[in-house]
Structure 1
């Protein structure tokens, strides 16, 4: 979205037409920086989302519903107290800036009507959500702002609300904008509009200039005229809600001439389509960052441990040589004199003469006993270290599987399952005691030629799909020598067609760590040939009697159910 007054004013005008006179049914706060308001406008229930997320601040109607936390944050409790059953009077952009104000009417404790204002400042990392009373004093806000030498504006409870100062020329003021443009040549118009005019982003500036040029009026007067119309574009002939189909996806309240676009029926529909995807990706990335850090630390620690233990195992393999040396010394005590540093003896294991080192400080029998003790210690240590080495190698295998699972996560539910697996493995702290919320295991389901195909994208999903959903004679598929999805092709005991098998293999290839490859080898076998791995880690298995097929990674979105 062009982050400017032009787009937000059009959104506000569209929201005003839709929500004005509507009654608030419920207010929720699904994210720490986002609230949703359920509104009944006399015809249908609508869901308004207001987000102060610094990466994608926004306000629009949405069809995406999120899960709400158990405990209500402070701002949410204040909103429910004062405007939980309010009527929306109007929605408008204020202060010629990226600020939208929702005027509300609600009854106070004395059952008298009172006005409130919900102010949504959508300005990148300075975004905020603020509730004002009818004297326009702050009742509460998402973020507080304490005044200092550089910033005299304050956002504190009880303070009078003042919008940020705006010293630029407003594009809705055509005479002032025309006068400001006159000293500049045409090639500098865009930079002036972006840097010195209020309410204009770079895409909007380019669109204004292109529109003026199309009308053969690329002059200060013509640009100011088009800019004024853009300032209230919702009520102008230039209003044309559009989606940018190229990546990165975006939307505009006008027909943007510098990208491939598709028109939509409303600006809110554009915002919901673009922001829902962007917000999902942004929050998934933020939520997975801490898990990625914990996994990287665990992998590094385990790799270091494997290196140390492997060296100890190699040292333990020298124990037999020490035992032989001790035996030879014990057998030939009569040949060794106190103080000798070496002795040459006949080695009856190799039938050769050997020169052995001695400790001149110890008696020969004491030195032999010392060697025997060292042998016993190394022997016991070797057995213990071999077990530890196997355990750490199994852990490393599991951690790499979790890394792939984290990369394949597409929804918050996928991420929650990975987090639960990591918590059970001790990689992150356990939840505080209390009611434990069991993660919901949602796997992918496909339908092709009357056959069901099930796909798990990680440990818990793989475990469930393989051993709960899959039947003994179903076909089980997995990318060869790679971490990734377990796929079950339901065959009802019949031999599947080659095309169907390839279809399932393409899904298994896509949901694996090798999804970027052009071709991936996929192993397949009957489900009864799949067993849980001896390491007893969730989702790890081994399999026998398998065949391999080459497949091109494909998510097959068209067949998802």
Structure 2
């Protein structure tokens, strides 16, 4: 999925249409590398679009850089970072004069802002976001292209190509690529058609802002094999490729964008800001019209979803992925703690199993002691072994003796070994139980970290880790009281209108099972593997089979067995679920239940926002 220069061009057009003339009302730095800017629209745009303000998200996250207009709000940190404070000082209440994309199809968006300085004089500042993978950045400059500050500082020790530091001149890093919007037929021929590499690669490696998928689209429109060597094209093929290239560039120049996601077997395959004819779409036709045409073509298996704006597409496609990325970044330390503790406990459990296996010899030593007590008198003085009949089995047994000890002393020696191993086995049994409970808890915490979506979810996991002694507790507010945690279980609505709740972690699992649900509700859990407690609220009504299957699917999806084709799920009425005294969070027992094998597919279920 390519966040390429054409996507940036589409965003720039949308931002320019909506934000130009608007005033910057609020600036928040919601993440270390992300800005959330509220813009009050101009009177004309407010009338045109029927809204008074837009929320602009600019993210320079190395793994998932983004820029889009959002319809959701984000929580600001209690203390604003320095970069945010600097922007507030300079451009809050400033007017956005223009939004442009410099350098043709460079992956850069430039916001020019007009504002009054401390003396009341009119000034211009520039806010740029560079969407360049791990090199992404948000840079703030003055009207003379001098960097005032940036969300990421890049010294010479990090990049020999360009320093990004206050006081340095801002310039676009050179990529030795041509501007595709300003090329001619002769330039195209010299840039692309002289290269001995696959045609599609020659196209995207020659021009700024073109992704491999757009290069393949150009080849497909031209009717020339994308994998054919560019230097091997004949005259007719060369003309066809340049014509297709020009047609795509005309779409960009004219702002004729049609944001669309292409699905293959219901899974997103690609997205673009122009129709992707290589997946059966028709240039100039809507996604719906293309889909109708596609049903009668040989290109089966593809479907399309059109969006009104590229911001809607990006927010829809990347929102969940962005949340997961952010939470994974913030949970790295917790994951490491849990993994380290889990590995330590697994090693301990393996050692305890070995020790328990060794202790199984205790009964043999007891029998040896008993046999020596009965038959020891027959042993010759100084004998190193004796063979006697075991009256328990009727078979002869050879017992090793210490020749320096009497038969009764040898018997006592074996009884002492038995007693020692017996005590060891009793202690090990308790220790193994504790170690196994710790392993089960840590594996369930791992599962909780996988499904966490908000910082409040992580806070609750931290609380459990602190309560269990794995980390120090820091979640205290004023007067030493614990801070309130607002994380809530997932809330789904079944196809038949029944409420289904899913615990996100062990603390929520206990609350959900023993406080939210009543005895007549149904409880679900993946069999013998870590997973969430799932509760189907009956409301005193008869529950149809489909609701049971959907609740079971949720239990499968939010378990360690999610990747399996089928997961075995236990389900039982809530009143049959008990929590043993002193049990760890999330641990319950039940002695009678139903079971079903279900696919972890929850696509038919509706998630109610928490």
Note whether the superposition's TM-score is higher than 0.5.
Answer: yes
**What does 1:87-486 correspond to in 2, within 5 Å?**
87-96=95-104, 97-147=106-156, 151-175=160-184, 177-178=187-188, 180=190, 184=194, 189-211=199-221, 227=245, 230=248, 233-236=251-254, 238-246=256-264, 247-259=267-279, 260-287=303-330, 291-319=334-362, 322=365, 357-359=400-402, 376-409=419-452, 414=457, 417-427=460-470, 429-430=471-472, 432=474, 434-435=476-477, 437=483, 438=485, 440-447=487-494, 449=496, 451-486=498-533
Q: Deviations over 1:62-100 (max 9, x none)?
A: 224334334433322322332233221211111342222
1:51 Cα deviation from its structure 2 partner: 1.4
Q: Is the 8 A contact 2:112 2:124 kept in 1?
A: yes
Which has the higher mean CA deviation after the structures are superposed, 321-330 or 66-75?
A: 321-330
Look up the SS of the partner of 1:117 in the other structure: strand
The CA distance in 2 between the partners of 1:305 and 1:340, in whole Å, is: 41
Q: Deviations over 1:272-317 (max 9, x none)?
A: 2222233234335555665555444433322322222233334445
Unaligned runs of 5+ in 1: none
The CA distance in 2 between the partners of 1:314 and 1:186, in whole Å, is: 67
Residues 423 and 177 (structure 1), Cα distance of their counterparts in 2 relative to 1, 3 Å cut? farther
Correspondence for 2:229: none
Residues 459 and 209 (structure 1), Cα distance of their counterparts in 2 relative to 1, 3 Å cut? same
The CA distance in 1 between the partners of 2:580 and 2:236, in whole Å, is: 72
Which has the higher mean CA deviation after the structures are superposed, 398-407 or 80-89?
A: 398-407
The CA distance in 2 between the partners of 1:401 and 1:460, in whole Å, is: 11
Residues 335 and 181 (structure 1), Cα distance of their counterparts in 2 relative to 1, 3 Å cut? closer
Residues 447 and 331 (structure 1), Cα distance of their counterparts in 2 relative to 1, 3 Å cut? closer
Give the number of aligned pairs.
558
1:333 Cα deviation from its structure 2 partner: 10
- With the length of structure 2 as denominator, give the TM-score of the two structures: 0.78
Look up the SS of the partner of 1:239 in the other structure: coil
Correspondence for 1:528: 575
Residues 480 and 368 (structure 1), Cα distance of their counterparts in 2 relative to 1, 3 Å cut? closer
1:408 Cα deviation from its structure 2 partner: 4.6
Q: Deviations over 1:237-282 (max 9, x none)?
A: 7433323234445432211212354332222222222222332343
The Cα RMSD (Å) is 4.0
1:207 Cα deviation from its structure 2 partner: 3.5
Correspondence for 1:66: 74
Residues 210 and 177 (structure 1), Cα distance of their counterparts in 2 relative to 1, 3 Å cut? farther
2:20 matched to 1:20? yes
The CA distance in 2 between the partners of 1:352 and 1:15, in whole Å, is: 92
Residues 148 and 165 (structure 1), Cα distance of their counterparts in 2 relative to 1, 3 Å cut? farther
- With the length of structure 1 as denominator, give the TM-score of the two structures: 0.84
Look up the SS of the partner of 2:320 in the other structure: helix
The CA distance in 1 between the partners of 2:589 and 2:116, in whole Å, is: 66
The CA distance in 2 between the partners of 1:354 and 1:3, in whole Å, is: 78
Q: Is the 8 A contact 1:457 1:484 kept in 2?
A: no
The CA distance in 1 between the partners of 2:222 and 2:392, in whole Å, is: 100
Which has the higher mean CA deviation after the structures are superposed, 274-283 or 14-23?
A: 274-283
Q: Is the 8 A contact 1:452 1:489 kept in 2?
A: yes
Look up the SS of the partner of 2:584 in the other structure: coil
The CA distance in 1 between the partners of 2:415 and 2:323, in whole Å, is: 65
1:224 Cα deviation from its structure 2 partner: 5.7
2:53 matched to 1:81? no
Look up the SS of the partner of 2:436 in the other structure: helix
The CA distance in 1 between the partners of 2:497 and 2:208, in whole Å, is: 59
Unaligned runs of 5+ in 2: 47-51, 225-234, 280-302
Correspondence for 2:61: 53
